[in-house]
Structure 1
Amino acid sequence: MRSLSSFFILCFVSFVNGMFYDTAPRLYDFGPGTIGAPMLFRYSFDDARMGPPYEFRFKFAQFPQYDKTLVSDQNGKDYVVTFESAKAGNYTVQIDAWYSRHGIPFHWIGTLHSTFQLTDSLTGTIAVNDDARKKVVSTAETFKLTARMSYYFGFFNSAAITYKWIINDEQQEESKEVIEHTFSRPQLNNISVIVTATKTNGSRLIQKSGTFNLTLESKDPITDLTVDGPTEVKVFERLQLDCKIHGGTPPFHYDYSSWMGGPYSEHIDVTKPLNESLFSLIRYFSEKGTRKLKIVAKNDVSSITKWMEISVY
C-alpha cells in the first residue's frame, strides 16, 4: 500500500536578528510531527556573496540531546530527528547559520527561531480523485476518496494499517485506503477516516492512530440551457434573449460573447455572476450583418454552452 513516511518541514515563521549580504533564512513546516516517527527540519537562505562551506547549528531548547551542527556546500540543510520520548505540545528550535573555513565558523549569516508541534497521533489528509485541494464535487459523479498519511522516508511502509471511514456520521462498509462514493444531493458533507498503523521498530512495538477530516460540498450539475428570443432584428432595434438554466446548484455565472467579421469588426465579452436560474441578454446593433453569439452558463461543477446566429438587417 502507499504510505508516506514522516516528512515535516518547519514553516516560515519568525526570523530574528539581522542578515548579511541580502540573505533571507527560511524554515518550512508541513507539521505537526508525530512522536516516534522521523521529522524533517529544512533550513535554507538565499544565495550570498560568500561561498560555501556553510555551518548550520540546530538547537532544541527542550531536547538538547538532539542539538547538532551540520556542514554543507549548499545554502540549506535538512536535519531529520525522531523524538522518541516527548509529550504532545509546542516546542522551539533555533538555527544559527555561519560561513565556515577549515571547520571554523568565521562569519555569521543569521539566526532563526521557530516553534514546532509534536503530536502522538498520525497526521494526514483526504484526497478527492487524488486532489487534496478539491472541495466541491458533482452529484452526478462517483469520486475516489484516498486517505494519505503525511509521512515520507518509508517509515510506515512495513506497518499494518487499518482504515475506518465515516461519511455524514454513517460508517462505511469499506475499510481500505481508497474508497469510492457518490454524493447524491447538494449539501455539505463531513468526511472522516480513522487510520491506525502498527509496526515493529527494532524491539519496540509502535502503534499510532489519527483521524483525517474533510468537508466537501456536493452540487447538482446544470442539465440544460434554453434561450428564447428572435434570431432576426433590425438595426437599432432592441434584441432581448431570455435565458434559463435548468438544474444545477447556484451560484451560477454566465459568459456571453458576440462577434462579427468584416466589413464591420466587432467582438464583445461579458461575464456576470448569478444567484437565479433566469437571466436576459439585451443588445442593440448599429450595423447590418450576422452576429455569432456564444452563451455559457456555469456553476462550480458544470458548464453548458449555446451557440446562436443573429441576423441584423
Structure 2
Amino acid sequence: MRTLSSFFILCLVSFNNAMFYDTTPRLYDFGPGTIGAPMLFRYSFGDATMGPPYEFRFKFAQFPQYDKTIVSDQNGEDYVVTFESAKAGNYTVQIDAWYSRHGIPFHWIGTLNSTFQLTDSLTGTIAVNDDARKKVVFTAETFKLSAILSYYFGFFNSANMTYKWIINDEVQEESSKVIVHTFSQPRLNNISVIVTATKTNGSDLIQKSGTFSTTLESKDPITNFTVDGPTEVKVFERLQLDCKIHGGTPPFEFDYFFWIDNPYSEHINVIKPSNESLFSLIRYFSAKGKRSLKIVAKNDVSSITKWMDISVY
C-alpha cells in the first residue's frame, strides 16, 4: 500500500466535453495541488482497438509553458508539473490522445477537457490509528492521531515541520506529527492540526502552511447484554424474551437468528434497529423442535452476542 509520505497526486477529474471513440478513460482525483510543489497528472484509458505507441498531448490553457507531448507504449501516462508562478484557483487542462506510427500521429483516440485546483496551502488528512476514513471511536480508549501530508515522491521529506493540534477548541501540548488522545465522553469531537513546512529548494526558501481537519464521534461501548424469558414454550404459545443493553451510546441494533435443521429446516433472521436499550423478542412456533437462537446487540463501536436453545413441545 502506498503511503502519503511523499508527492501529492492530482489526477484529472471532470469529464467535461470528453470525447473517446474507442477507449474508456480512467481519471482520479486526490484533491488540490500546492503551488511550488510538484503535482502529478495521471491519465489512462481502457483496452484500445490498436496497439502502441500512443501520443499524449497535455495542454494547459493558463500555463502554456507547461504544454508537453509524451509518446508511450502504455495506455496511460504520468506528467509531473511544478507550478511555480501561479495564483490559487481553478484551471483547465486538455489532453489529446493519438495512435502514433514512426513519430507521426495517424489516428485520433479522443480529447478530454478537465479542471484542476491549485492552492497556496499544504494539503493532507488526519488519520485515526492509520485510518483516514475512520469517523467513529469509542470512549476510554487511547487513539493515535496522525497528520498525513498528501504529497508523493518525498518533496517535503527534508522540510522542517511543525504541528499544532487543536481538539474541541483546546490546544494540545503535543506538537508532533503523531499524538495520542483519549475521548472521555460521548460527543462530536472537532479535531484540527495546523501544519507548517519550511525547506530550501535550491536557492529558494519554501514555507507552506495548511490546516487539516476532521470530525470524530466518540461513543460509549456496550458493557453488558442480558436476555430474560423462558427457554421452553408450547406450539403456538407466545415466546417473549426481554433483551436489555447495559451501557453504550445509541443508536443500537438487535440482530436475532433462529434456526432448526432436524427434523426439518427452518431459518429466521431479523434485524431490528432501535434508539432504546430495551427490546422484546416475540415469536410463535407452529411445530415442535429445538431451535437455536443467536442474538447480537451492537452499536457503532461494540457488539455482544448471546446464544440460546429454545425447546418447542
**1:1-313 residue pairs with structure 2 within 5 A?**
4-16=5-17, 18-21=19-22, 23-313=23-313
Two-structure CA RMSD over aligned residues (Å):
1.4
1:261, distance to aligned residue in structure 2 (A): 3.2
Post-superposition CA distance 1:88-112 (Å, at most 9, x none): 1111111111111111111111111
1:229, distance to aligned residue in structure 2 (A): 0.9
1:289, distance to aligned residue in structure 2 (A): 2.6
Which secondary structure state, in structure 1, belongs to the residue aligned with residue 65 of structure 2?
helix
Which secondary structure state, in structure 2, belongs to the residue aligned with residue 162 of structure 1?
strand
1:140, distance to aligned residue in structure 2 (A): 3.0
1:239, distance to aligned residue in structure 2 (A): 0.8
Q: Are the counterparts in 2 of residues 15 and 111 from structure 1 also a CA contact under 8 Å?
A: no
- Contiguous gaps of at least 5 residues in structure 1: none
Q: Are the counterparts in 2 of residues 95 and 113 from structure 1 also a CA contact under 8 Å?
A: yes
1:17, distance to aligned residue in structure 2 (A): 5.1
Give the letter aligned to residue 12 of structure 1. V
- Contiguous gaps of at least 5 residues in structure 2: none
Inter-partner Cα distance in structure 2 for 1:214 and 1:50: 46
Q: Are the counterparts in 2 of residues 227 and 244 from structure 1 also a CA contact under 8 Å?
A: yes
1:11, distance to aligned residue in structure 2 (A): 3.7
Inter-partner Cα distance in structure 2 for 1:292 and 1:265: 12
In the superposition, relative to structure 1, how do residues 263 and 27 fare at CA in structure 2: closer, same or farther (>3 Å)? closer
Inter-partner Cα distance in structure 1 for 2:217 and 2:237: 44
Inter-partner Cα distance in structure 2 for 1:7 and 1:118: 12
1:204, distance to aligned residue in structure 2 (A): 0.8
Give the letter aligned to residue 9 of structure 1. L
Identical amino acids, percent of aligned pairs: 82
Inter-partner Cα distance in structure 1 for 2:19 and 2:227: 64
**4+ residue segments displaced more than 4 Å:** none
Q: Are the counterparts in 2 of residues 6 and 33 from structure 1 also a CA contact under 8 Å?
A: no
Which secondary structure state, in structure 2, belongs to the residue aligned with residue 16 of structure 1?
coil
1:285, distance to aligned residue in structure 2 (A): 1.8
Q: Are the counterparts in 1 of residues 12 and 41 from structure 2 also a CA contact under 8 Å?
A: no
Which secondary structure state, in structure 2, belongs to the residue aligned with residue 249 of structure 1?
coil
Query: Normalized against structure 2, the TM-score is what?
Result: 0.96
Query: Normalized against structure 1, the TM-score is what?
Result: 0.96
Which secondary structure state, in structure 2, belongs to the residue aligned with residue 29 of structure 1?
coil
Give the letter aligned to residue 8 of structure 1. I
Post-superposition CA distance 1:27-64 (Å, at most 9, x none): 32212000110000011111211111111111111111
Q: Are the counterparts in 2 of residues 142 and 181 from structure 1 also a CA contact under 8 Å?
A: yes
Which secondary structure state, in structure 2, belongs to the residue aligned with residue 114 of structure 1?
strand
Post-superposition CA distance 1:199-219 (Å, at most 9, x none): 111111111110000011111
Q: Are the counterparts in 1 of residues 10 and 32 from structure 2 also a CA contact under 8 Å?
A: no
Inter-partner Cα distance in structure 1 for 2:196 and 2:104: 47
1:15, distance to aligned residue in structure 2 (A): 4.1
